[in-house]
Structure formats: structure tokens, C-alpha cells
Chains A and B, each alone.
Chain A
Amino acid sequence: MAKKITLPLTDEAIKDLKAGDSVLITGSMLTGRDAAHKRLFELIEKGEKLPVDLSGEVIYYVGPAPAKPGHAVGPAGPTSSYRMDKYTPALLDRGLKAMIGKGARSPEVIESMIKNGCVYFAAIGGAAALISQSIKKVETLAYEDLGTEAIYRFTVEDFPAIVAIDSMGNLAAPSLIKK
């Protein structure tokens, strides 16, 4: 049975999430992938203000396909998370609470997740048409020039995911830590 959770996530709600739990997420989340992460990271390194406030937020690693007329969003499944690993600890230190992606994370990311009390969800890679049905609204927040790689705000209802790595660093499957 999937556990229903709503965003933003409280610290208590995060503690209740255990590796392997199936969840249905409702609320609003940020999106961002390679190019947006690089820009955010560079701003953090320079000590400059970010175009979005990360505190308490969830970020979904996705670059959606264009929406057909009458659809809120195009197919929008997760992209591989490990490419964000280099930038992730800096974002978690800035208050980011959860990430949604697919695949393994580095030991450094997992260490930072434990330190900051964060959770990593896996969405099912390639289930893009199905996942997009749970995305009800899309707004562009930053980096519009990046097109599909811009930072959007998604409003989702019953977005399906699995707790891949919980806030204690437990893994849903042994391969989820990058060796």
C-alpha cells in the first residue's frame, strides 16, 4: 500500500519515511537537472543569491517533453541522479529537503542527506507518460533560457515514487550507493 504524503515535508514526516516505502506525493515541487544545478552551484560558490529559495523544498530531476495542447505537461519521468551528485551537498546545506530522481547516489550525497535530514525518492525511469498524469500544473521559476532544463514548479497529485534512500541513509536496494 502506498503511503500518501503532502508537501512541504516536515522533519517528522521525513523521519517516518523508510527506505523501500511506496509513496504518493501531493503538493508543489521544484524541478531542475544538469544545467540548472550547475548554475545554482556556481552562485552558491560565489556566495550570491539564488533565483529560487531551496529551504524546505523538494527537487525533481526532470527535463519534460513539450506538452500537447490540452495537457498540463508533456511526458516527465526522472533523469539519472548521479549527475547531480557533485552539486547536491551544497543544495542540501541550503535547505533542500528531498530529491526525486532515478538510480544511485554517491557516498558524499548520502552523508549530506543524513547530516541535513533529507530523503531521496526514486521515480520509475521511463514511466514518463504515466507520471505526467499526476502533474497538474507547471510554472516556470528560473532559467527559462534552458528550455526543458529550466527550473519549473510542478503542482502534483498522487505522484508515484519509492523511498530509495531514507534520512538515516538506509537503501531500498544495495545498488543505490555508487561505488
Chain B
Amino acid sequence: MEIRSINAQTITQTVKKLYMDMNYFIGDDILSALKNAQQNESSSTGKAVLSTLIENNRIAARDEVAICQDTGMAVMFIEYGEKVVIENGSFEDAVQEGVRQAYIDGYLRKSVVDDPVFERINTKDNTPAIIYTTIVPGSKIKILAGCKGFGSENMSAVKMLTPSAGIEGVRKFILDTVRTAGPNPCPPIVVGVGIGGTFEKAAMLAKKATLRPIDTKNPDSRYAQLEDELLAGINKMGFGPAGLGGDNTALGVNIEYFPTHIAGMPVAVNICCHAARHKEAEI
């Protein structure tokens, strides 16, 4: 295969558009899940909250303003084709520049501070974005992008379960994490679960799971069934829309898994609010 040149500017423009669009226009997967939830919610407060959220999504799209003021920290999973060379710039800078331009030109909130412990000075352009890149065969760049609000991010957890914990241990940890989060992460939530790999791999899988459309299932039927069981279990907790009570605490549970060590069974739960913003592009 021939080497393919991609201009850094093209990458910047693509990333910029992804972030502006995902913040203004909720995905069809989330919108239809909210509409379904609104139909089947038995709590009158819950029903009213869901109607408000659907209306909020309509206003945001109409006015091209952010769905939620917490426009999050930008996270991207990028598949970089090994035949691609970048012209007129570097890959990392081009991606970060796209985020910077989206948050400045798109009237999105800058929510990133430079150091976590001491002065916590705002970087004023929402960079750095968190970028996970894998090199893949081919001559394309695929970007899976999300923006993660921290009301829900703060409710996430990783646990190093061991094999004897079994599926019961996995189920319990996930449900306990959601129960502890309670009304705080802006339910109805999307629950991303990563199982396997190493400590950090499980967390990355959980993040990636939150970016998968919620109208899809894990291709492995055993994991798909676990997704369904967990969703039903979470919706029995009763936190409901906005945590004010009701049947719809979660819109979906997405699980991703990966091979792991003979001694381990890491599980990560990444909780995402109902404004589960994700978008993909291919260059």
C-alpha cells in the first residue's frame, strides 16, 4: 500500500467539528432511549424530568449551544493507519488544536486545570485532551471521541477482583458502584464496564464502553446477557431520573472485555450521565 499524506489542518478541522457537534446535538441512541424511558416511566416526577431532558436536547440543537454546561474533558480513542504521514504539523498537536478551537469557538466550557493538587489553574482552552492511539494497518485515521463530564466521572471505580469472585463478584461490584453513585451522576446514566486486561486496561475499556452507542450489544452473547441483567438490576434501585425517584436510573449498560492474567479479574465501572456525548469520524 502507498503512503498517504494527511494535512494536519484536516485533522484539526475534523476534531473541532466532532467536539462542537457532540456538544450541541445529542446522539440518536440517547434520544430514543430517553423517549422510551419517558413513555414507560411510572413516577410522575420522573416522567416530567425526562420530558425536560428531551426538551433540553431540542433547545441545545436548535440554538447550537451545549446540552450541558459541563462540556467535559475531551477523550479520544484513535486508530492511526501505519501508512499515514502527517504534513504541515504533527499528529498530537493537530488533535489538541482541534479541541482548543472547538472549546473556544464553540462557546464550550473550559473545565481543565493544569495541576490536580496545588494551584489548579484553568488552562483556558480545555486542553490537554486525553488521547489513546493505536497503530493499525491501513491508511486511514479513525477517531472515536467523547467528552466526559465529571459529575459522573467522579462516581466511577476500578476494583482488582480475583478469579474466585466469579460472575457474582463482577455483578456485585458493578451494582454497588452504581448504588453508591445514587442520585449524583445525573441519572438516567450510561454505565460503561471494562473487564479484564490489567489495572489501566480495564479502566480504558470502561471508558470506551461509554462511547459505544447504547442501542448496540456486546457481540458475545454471554456478555450481552450480563448487560441486560445489570440494566434491569440498576433500574430496580429506584433512583430514577435526576435522582428524584423512578424506574429509569440507567439508559444502558455497555460491557467491553479483554484477556487477563491467570490470577486476576479487574473490573472498571465508568459512569456517564444521560448526556452521553460521543461521535466518530474517519479521515
Contact = CB atoms under 8 A, between A and B. Distances in A.
A97 interface: no
B242 A128 contact: no
Nearest to A178: B182
Nearest to A2: B48
A20 B52 CA distance: 16
Contact of A62 (B52, B69, B186, B240): B69
Contact of B52 (A35, A127, A132, A178): A127
Interface in B16-67: 45, 48-49, 52-53, 55-56, 59-60, 63-67
Interface in B63-103: 63-71
A35 B59 CA distance: 30
A86 to B, nearest CB: 15
Nearest to A38: B120
Contacts of B7: none
B55 A65 contact: no
A77 interface: yes
A160 B184 contact: no
A2 to B, nearest CB: 10
Contacts of B275: 126
B65 A173 contact: no
B186 A129 contact: no
A80 B52 contact: no
A124 B242 contact: yes
A116 interface: no
Contacts of B53: 124, 126-127
Q: What does DSSP make chain B's interface, helix, strand, loop or mixed? A: loop
Contacts of B273: 125-126
B108 A172 contact: no
B245 interface: yes
Interface in B150-195: 151, 154, 182-186
Given A68-B65, A126-B56, A126-B275, A102 B186 contact: yes
Contact of A124 (B49, B59, B69, B70): B49
Nearest to B71: A65
Interface string A42-79: 00000000000000000000111111100100111101
A173 B240 contact: yes
Contacts of B122: 146-148
A87 interface: no
B243 interface: yes
A31 to B, nearest CB: 11
Contact of B107 (A65, A79, A174): A65
A64 B69 contact: yes
A147 B110 contact: yes
Contacts of A80: 151, 154, 184-185
B56 A74 contact: no
B243 A65 contact: no
Contact of A176 (B55, B243, B274): B243
B257 interface: no
A20 B66 contact: no
Nearest to A148: B109
Contact of A68 (B55, B107, B239, B243): B107
Contacts of B111: 63, 148
Given A80-B151, A164-B244, A173-B183, 12 more contacts: A35-B120, A65-B107, A76-B69, A80-B154, A104-B184, A124-B52, A125-B68, A125-B186, A128-B70, A148-B122, A175-B183, A176-B243
Interface of B: 45, 48-49, 52-53, 55-56, 59-60, 63-71, 107-111, 120, 122, 124, 151, 154, 182-186, 238-240, 242-245, 273-275
Interface of A: 20, 22, 35, 62-68, 71, 74-77, 79-80, 82, 102-104, 122, 124-133, 146-148, 160, 162, 164, 172-176, 178
16 contacts: A66-B107, A66-B108, A74-B66, A102-B243, A103-B182, A103-B243, A122-B242, A126-B186, A127-B55, A127-B56, A128-B68, A128-B69, A130-B52, A130-B55, A172-B45, A176-B183
